[in-house]
Amino acid sequence: VSALGKTWRTRAGGQIDRYLQTDVVTYPGFSGGPLVDASGNIVGLNTSALTRGVTVSIPVPTVASVTETLVTHGRVRRGHLGIGAQVVRLPDGIEKDAGQESGLIIVSVESKSPAETGGIMLGDTVVAFNDTSIRHMDDLLAELTGDTVGQIVKLRVIRGGELKELTVTMGDRSPEA
């Protein structure tokens, strides 16, 4: 193991608890083998598909979590709101009330989506998902996990210069959902 990384999100949106970078080259077609420690314990699953030119190993807890989801649901589920958003800087007065400098302004709402059903409107600015601050798109993507599908979540938004709380029943963005 040449490096230990922090939590990160793949290009496809999957959450990786952390990663182990190895200095062993894994050639195409050889991904999927175990990373074994000196005591013979499996500590991860090697892959060359998630990063370019670097072999990483997905830790056992992440592999176990994905496996449990696949066994339970037959696929990896992802939460879905049905919005398009852009990062925006909050005005000074609202910045203090919201306790943050930026949020996500809603630029589109899909017809019949969870967002539309929950009352989200064009021009709303999302600043929190449940009790987690939303400052950037990655913040929101991190919250749209499979665990949220079907759950009622609280969205704190700025509408007309005032903070407002909305509730939305999360949808499922997964293929074949």
pLDDT level of residue 78 (50, 70, 90 thresholds)? confident
CA angle (108, 109, 112) in 5-degree steps: 155
Adjacent-strand bridge partners of 159:
162
For the question of whether the overall pTM of this predicted structure is more than 0.75, the answer is no
The residue with greater pLDDT, 44 or 102, is 102
- For residues 152-177, average pLDDT: 88
Mean of per-residue pLDDT scores for the chain: 84
Q: What is the pLDDT of residue 111?
A: 95
How far is Cα 81 from Cα 169, in angstroms, rounded to an integer? Answer: 8
Distances 136 to 18, 29, 88, 96 between C-alpha atoms, Å: 21, 36, 9, 17
SS (H, E, C) 124-174: CEEEEECCEECCCHHHHHHHCCHHHCCCEEEEEEEECCEEEEEEEECEECC
Distances 133 to 21, 23, 99, 122 between C-alpha atoms, Å: 30, 37, 9, 20
